[in-house]
Structure 1
Amino acid sequence: MIIAENEEKERAEFEKSIPIDVGKARDTHLIVATLIATVTFAAGFTMPGGYNSNNGPNQGMAILTREAAFKAFVVTDSMAMILSTCAVLIYFALADYGDQTKLLYRYSLTAGLLMIATGAMVLAFITGIYAVLPHSSSLAIPIWIIGCFSFVIYYCLFKENFHKQFESISFNI
C-alpha cells in the first residue's frame, strides 16, 4: 500500500516536470500524421503530368518518369507517406504504455518523424509543381523560392519550440 502511494507520488512529480501535456500533443500529432499519410497517399496515385493513355508498352505509366523533378517528387512523397505512417503506428503502440521514460522517448521520436514527414511533403509539393511546369517558366522559380523560404520559417519555429519542450526531459532507456 505504501509502495503504491510512493509510486503515485513519483508519477505525479514526474508528470509535473514535463513541460507539455503528452496526451494532448499525442492526439494532435496523430491527426497530423494521419492527414499527411492521406494526402501523400492520394498524391502518389494522382501523378503530376498524368498517365500515358496511348496503346503500347508504356500504357498506364507516368508520363514524366524520366524527369528529375518527377523522380524527386516520387522520393519525397514516399518519404512523407512512410514516415507519417510510422508515426501513426508508433502512436498506436503507445496507447497503453506504462513506462513514462519510454513514453517520452517514443513521443519525441514520433515528433521528429512528423517534422521530417512535413518537410518531405512540402518538397513533394514543390517538385511536383516544378515537374509539370516548363522549367523556364516564370512560375517555376518563385515556387522554388517560396518553398525554400518555408524551410527557414519551419526551422525557426521548431528550433525554439523543441529546445523548450525537451530541455527538462532525460531519455534514459
Structure 2
Amino acid sequence: MHRTLHRWKNLSLIEESQTLPNGVEVQHTSVSHPGAVVILAKTPNNTLLLLNQYRPSLKEWLLEIPAGTLEENEAPLSGAKRELEEETGYSAKKWQSLGQLTPMAGFCNEIQYLYLAEELSLTQRLSQDSDEVIEVLDVSVDQLLSWIQQDKITDAKTIATLSKALLTGALN
C-alpha cells in the first residue's frame, strides 16, 4: 500500500507498507524528495563562495555553500549550474563531481549531488526564490575551516562537501 499524506512544492509525505529484509512488515512514513545539488564554488582568487542565508525553519541565519532542490526531471549538473547562478550571480566553466550524500536516510529519500565549480564569472543573473534571503560572501578555505571548528558553520552539506573536496585533492 502506498498513500500520499501531504504534498508541498515538489515534496511529498508518503506512507507505505514495506517488508523489511528480516521479513517484518511495517508501515513506513517518509518524505519523497526529487534530490538536490550542492556547489563548492572556487573563485579565481582561490576563495570560496559562501552564503549567509536566512532559514525560516530555524528562524536564524545559516552559513552554507550554494545548494538547491532539483526541478522535475532535471539532471544534477544542469541543476547545479542553475542554482549557482540563481543564488550567487556567478556561472562556472569547469565542473567536477564530488560524489553524493544521503543526508536524512531515516525519513527521506533525498540524494544530494556534490560539485566543485571553478573558472567563475559574474553574470549577475540572480533569481532567488521568494522565501530566500541571501548574502553572498567570499571566504578563504582556512576561514571556512576555522568557522567550522568554531561552530559558526553547522550546515552538514557544507561541511561534508568541503571535506570531500579536501580528502580527494579536488580542492588544492
TM-score computed with the length of structure 1 as normaliser: 0.24
Structure richer in helix, relative to its length:
1
Structure richer in strand, relative to its length:
2
Q: Which has the higher contact order (CA 8 A, sep 6+)?
A: 1
Say which one has the larger Rg. Answer: 1
TM-score computed with the length of structure 2 as normaliser: 0.24
